[in-house]
Amino acid sequence: MKTWLQALPKVELHLHIEGSLEPELMFALAERNNIALPYASVEDVQAAYDFSDLQSFLDLYYLGMRVLRTERDFYDLAMAYLERAHGEGVVHVELSFDPQAHLSRGVELAVPFEGLRLAMREAERRWGMTTALIMSFLRDRDAEEAMAVLEKAAPYYEVIDAVGLDSAEMGNPPAKFAEVFERAKALGIPRVAHAGEEGPAAYISEALDVLDICRVDHGVACLEDAMLVERLRKSQVPLTVCPLSNVRLKVVETLRDHPLPTMLAHGVKITLNSDDPAYFGGGVLDNFVACAEAFDWDRDTFRQLAGNAIEVAFMPESRRQALLKQLAAC
């Protein structure tokens, strides 16, 4: 099964590029930029990645990314990830990034944009891999700051495929960002948002109603609300589920307890993604393989999941058709 899953043309829709920072690169960049890390070794870093919830992860996620200072750092980060993803049979990656987490450290907006864009172009040139860029807002900071970032990003509107919403979910409901997302909509920028990861099903409904999102990131809490499940089934709004992330952040106890099979049985449009591969135990292929082991899914199920992601990705129609053809031959 693993060989077959490897060859399946996989599309990654939910990836925080800062969450792809492997400990080895973290140390290399810390040295290059003369930044002190509170870790003695790679093993020390890995030992620290024992999370009790989303916040305990976010604390280390923001700590680790302090080593990212220059365009070259962001280029190296993205290039390392895109190369690994290519090796796993991933054919299209949508990178999300958190500009506020960099601006607050004095790293200007142009730095991540330029560095990431360079790596995205390089991946296309080298491997024919396609990519998209999602600029995410931090929901645990105020909406005015998010609005200021959106305005500041004006020179990059053409290269922003969507805006997103991430970071600490509880107590930071989608409606807090109503105006920001309304402005993005007026600018013609598509919208996605994390909802129903740690937060309740009501946050998913609110994100659909108030933020007018085209995809729900995570969304695993949807089963709490039968009417919402029916809405998701009818509308086929996709959910970017991240199984290994949910295990590591204790959203579920083990992968076998994950609601994925039930969500699928209800006809919800599911995709499988890695979220923060350096922190959660692997990339897209690892998530596919883990699900194969936990749920004993057959090839048709994986064809459907891979197909869902191709159908809803931010990519040119010609590319979509070519990938669907490639998938049908698997």
List residues binding Zn ion (CB under 5 A). Answer: 275
For the segment 121-160, give every residue that binds ligand HPA (CB under 6 A).
none
Tokens of 151: 């305005």
Nearest to 198 by CA among 305, 52, 96, 98: 52
Bridge partners for 16 per DSSP: 96
- Residues 6-35, one symbol each (x = binds ligand HPA by CB under 6 A, - = not), give ----------x--x----------------
Give me the catalytic one of 22, 71, 197, 198: 197
Tokens of 162: 């969507």
Nearest to 89 by CA among 277, 327, 328: 327
User: Which DSSP state fits 89?
Assistant: T
- Residues 264-283, one symbol each (x = binds ligand HPA by CB under 6 A, - = not), give -----------xx-------
* Residue number with CB closer to ligand HPA (218 or 320): 218
Smallest gap, in angstroms, from Cβ of residue 4 to Zn ion?
27
CA dihedral 63, 65, 66, 72 (to 10 degrees): 170
Q: Does the annotation count 197 as an active-site position?
A: yes
Report which residue type is found at 68: L
Between CA 81 and CA 174 the distance in angstroms is: 30
Residue nearest to Zn ion (CB): 275
For the segment 75-104, give every residue that binds ligand HPA (CB under 6 A).
none
The 10 Å CB-count burial string (b at 16+, else e) for 141-170 is bebeebbebbeebeebeeebbbbbbbbbbe
Tokens of 184: 């993005």
**Scanning the structure block, which residue is given the tokens 């829709």?**
13
* Residue number with CB closer to ligand HPA (107 or 327): 107
Q: Which does 206 bind (CB under 5 to 8 A by kind): Zn ion, ligand HPA, none?
A: none
Q: Which does 167 bind (CB under 5 to 8 A by kind): ligand HPA, Zn ion, none?
A: ligand HPA
> Of 71, 73, 197, 286, which one interacts with ligand HPA (CB under 6 A)?
197
Between CA 276 and CA 57 the distance in angstroms is: 10
* Residue 61 found at the interface with ligand HPA (CB under 6 A): yes
Smallest gap, in angstroms, from Cβ of residue 1 to ligand HPA?
27
Smallest gap, in angstroms, from Cβ of residue 14 to Zn ion?
6
For the segment 160-189, give every residue that binds ligand HPA (CB under 6 A).
166-167
- Residues 211-250, one symbol each (x = binds ligand HPA by CB under 6 A, - = not), give ----------------------------------x-----
**Backbone φ, ψ for residue 108 (5° rounding):** -65, 155
Which are the contacts of 30, defined by CB distance < 8 A and separation ≥ 6?
A: 36, 37, 67
Smallest gap, in angstroms, from Cβ of residue 99 to ligand HPA?
13
* Residue number with CB closer to ligand HPA (92 or 194): 194
Q: Dump strand ranges (E) for 48-153.
A: 90-97, 130-138
Point out the residues that are catalytic. Answer: 197
- Enumerate binding residues for ligand HPA (CB under 6 A): 16, 19, 54, 61, 166-167, 194, 197, 245, 275-276
